[in-house]
């Protein structure tokens, strides 16, 4: 919440910015990378105190929080405010705040949003309404035993190797079968419906399956079409609602079943953030895992549950980015993915020397597509974070459109970041490659906007940045390259 401070013409000079930097509440907000929230008593009190002090100085000015609150003319506007603060004679800090959706946010000095011109939010009008009869009819044929087996298979192939939280050993894993038992327990019903719901977010990105034993019409990818994606999301909501009917029973005791249920909820939230509080779910899972580990140390858990608990620990670490040893073994996708996120975490929290050291542990790019698609995307995103050059951006924009790629709610951020890096290096990239990768970025952002509407603004902002860079560099291919509906 720092901004330029005034100083009196007489009396001792008050270093207001240094005082603000030392306040515990403000420090906590900076560490959490968020801006002032006047709904919080401490933030409101500090904002009022700063305004009072500045009114006593010749160069008075309102605190950022109250200024934004009083000058905002539209709740949907998106504006950027840059404020400088000098904490000592040698260091100069830039504080960036964005007003988005009526919320005042602290962006940080390295946010990729700072690169692009500011835009008004872009809203996407859905092509299909859920209440349409035809839409409901198309949903009904998808609900079949064959379709649910496909969803279960897809989860076991795509998610379970990376987040191995299911106990597939008998009798615990008896429901993980094409012939589902008739006497399912409430916990098993909850688990199956959560699996179906999660897989519905993945299925539109997979290829068609051609199994002669399947009597239903294969759906699979069915191209990157909006209607298909929306239908599967509606189907995911339906399965999720069925799972919620058994949530209380699935989480009644602090045991392995509850931990598995919480982690399934967290994985689901990575696709649908509005369905639950991702941070709280991970925190609860970490606490449960800690308590269960204590039981394991006392030999109160059977051996198979001890092994599953270790796998759940890796899932929590992957989702929470905790710090531990690294393992980049391609035959162990869960540990590989977990290590990538740990590497990202160390890089973000480290100083200059630590960041240089972290780069030495980074495995090479997966140019032969030997890793699972979800792990391959994470690897290339990690390269982009540690080495933000157009080569890293190239691999990210290639991986996100590869067959089987899994997109979660943070994927649009990475695609946008890769797109900005790519566009800023226009003189270094062959025009044919640029239009292909640029269209990849717009495609993913457009698809994401149907799931997470804010991605539409990122797409429009990226297009605006391209126009600015074309004016700046004036390439010879300007207005001559086209890929599908994209022309630059």
Tens of pLDDT along 193-214? 999 999 999 887 775 444 444 3
What share of the chain has pLDDT > 90, as a percent? 25
What DSSP string describes 293-359? Answer: HHHHHTT-S-HHHHHHHHHHHHHHHHHHT--------TT-HHHHHHHHHHHHHHHHHS-HHHHHHHH
User: Regarding predicted confidence, which is higher, 294 or 402?
Assistant: 402
Query: Is the pLDDT assigned to residue 132 strictly greater than 50?
Result: no
User: Quick one: pLDDT at residue 105?
Assistant: 61
Query: Is the pLDDT assigned to residue 415 strictly greater than 50?
Result: yes
Where does the pLDDT of residue 432 fall: very low under 50, low under 70, confident under 90, or very high at 90 and above? Answer: confident
Query: Is the pLDDT assigned to residue 221 strictly greater than 70?
Result: no
| Residue 482 burial by Cβ neighbours in a 10 Å radius (0-12, 13-18, 19+) | exposed
271 near 281, Cβ under 8 Å? no
Give me 36's structure tokens.
């002032």
User: Regarding predicted confidence, which is higher, 103 or 249?
Assistant: 249
Query: Is the pLDDT assigned to residue 311 strictly greater than 80?
Result: no
User: Quick one: pLDDT at residue 382?
Assistant: 95
**CA distances from residue 175 to 188, 192, 309, 311 in whole angstroms, order as listed:** 7, 8, 20, 20
User: Quick one: pLDDT at residue 482?
Assistant: 79
User: Quick one: pLDDT at residue 136?
Assistant: 47
| Separate counts of helices (H) and strands (E) for the chain | 19, 5
Task: Give pLDDT tens digits for 89-128.
Answer: 344 445 566 655 555 566 666 666 666 655 556 665 555 5
Query: Is the pLDDT assigned to residue 87 strictly greater than 50?
Result: no
Euclidean distance between CA atoms 142 and 64, whole angstroms: 51
Where does the pLDDT of residue 307 fall: very low under 50, low under 70, confident under 90, or very high at 90 and above? Answer: confident
User: Quick one: pLDDT at residue 133?
Assistant: 44
Euclidean distance between CA atoms 9 and 71, whole angstroms: 29
Euclidean distance between CA atoms 454 and 480, whole angstroms: 30
Task: Give pLDDT tens digits for 259-270.
Answer: 999 999 999 999
Euclidean distance between CA atoms 2 and 22, whole angstroms: 11
Give me 88's structure tokens.
């000592």
Taking residues 414-440, report their average pLDDT. Answer: 90
Where does the pLDDT of residue 448 fall: very low under 50, low under 70, confident under 90, or very high at 90 and above? Answer: confident
Task: Give pLDDT tens digits for 6-65.
Answer: 444 444 455 666 666 666 656 666 665 555 655 555 666 666 666 666 666 554 444 444
Task: Give pLDDT tens digits for 324-360.
Answer: 568 898 988 988 998 898 889 888 888 888 889 899 9
Euclidean distance between CA atoms 67 and 69, whole angstroms: 5
Euclidean distance between CA atoms 63 and 46, whole angstroms: 9
């Amino acid at each position: 919440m720092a901004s330029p401070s005034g100083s009196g013409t007489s009396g001792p000079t008050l270093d207001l910015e240094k005082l603000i930097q030392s306040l515990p509440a403000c420090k906590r907000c900076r560490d959490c990378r968020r801006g002032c929230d006047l709904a919080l008593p401490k933030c409101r009190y500090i904002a009022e105190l700063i305004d009072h002090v500045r009114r006593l100085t010749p160069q008075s000015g309102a605190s950022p929080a109250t200024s934004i609150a009083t000058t905002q003319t539209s709740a949907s506007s998106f504006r950027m405010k840059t404020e400088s603060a000098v904490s000592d004679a040698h260091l100069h800090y830039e504080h960036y705040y964005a007003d988005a959706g009526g919320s005042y946010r602290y962006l940080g000095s390295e946010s990729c949003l700072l690169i692009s011109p500011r835009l008004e939010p872009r809203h996407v009008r859905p092509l299909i309404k859920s209440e349409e009869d035809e839409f409901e009819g198309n949903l009904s044929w998808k609900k079949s035993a064959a379709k649910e087996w496909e969803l279960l298979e897809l989860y076991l192939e795509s998610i379970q190797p990376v987040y191995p939280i299911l106990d597939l050993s008998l009798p615990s894993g008896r429901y993980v079968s094409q012939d589902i038992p008739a006497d399912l327990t409430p916990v098993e019903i909850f688990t199956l419906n959560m699996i179906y719901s999660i897989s519905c977010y993945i299925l539109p990105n997979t290829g068609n399956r051609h199994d002669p034993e399947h009597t239903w019409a294969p759906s699979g990818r069915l191209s990157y079409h909006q209607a298909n994606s929306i239908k599967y999301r509606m189907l995911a909501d339906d399965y999720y609602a069925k799972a919620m009917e058994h949530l209380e029973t699935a989480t009644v005791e602090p045991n392995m079943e509850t931990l598995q249920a919480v982690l399934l909820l967290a994985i689901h939230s990575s696709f649908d953030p509005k369905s639950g509080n991702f941070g709280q779910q991970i925190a609860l899972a970490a606490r449960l895992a800690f308590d269960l580990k204590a039981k394991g140390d006392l030999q109160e858990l059977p051996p198979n549950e001890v092994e599953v608990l270790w796998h759940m620990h890796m899932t929590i670490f992957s989702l929470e980015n905790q710090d531990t040893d690294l393992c980049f073994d391609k035959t162990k996708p869960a540990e590989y993915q977990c290590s990538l996120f740990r590497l990202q975490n160390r890089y973000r929290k480290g100083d200059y020397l630590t960041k240089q050291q972290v780069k030495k542990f980074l495995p090479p790019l997966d140019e032969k597509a030997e890793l699972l698609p979800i792990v391959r995307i994470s690897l290339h995103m990690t390269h982009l974070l540690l080495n933000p050059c157009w080569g890293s951006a190239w691999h990210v924009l290639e991986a996100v459109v590869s067959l089987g790629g899994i997109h979660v709610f943070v994927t649009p951020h990475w695609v946008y970041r890769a797109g900005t890096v790519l566009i800023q290096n226009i003189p270094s990239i062959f025009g044919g490659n640029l239009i292909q990768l640029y269209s990849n970025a717009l495609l993913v952002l457009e698809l994401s906007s149907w799931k997470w509407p804010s991605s539409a603004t990122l797409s429009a902002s990226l297009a605006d940045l391209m126009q600015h860079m074309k004016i700046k560099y004036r390439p010879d291919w300007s207005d001559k390259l086209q890929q599908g509906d994209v022309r630059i």
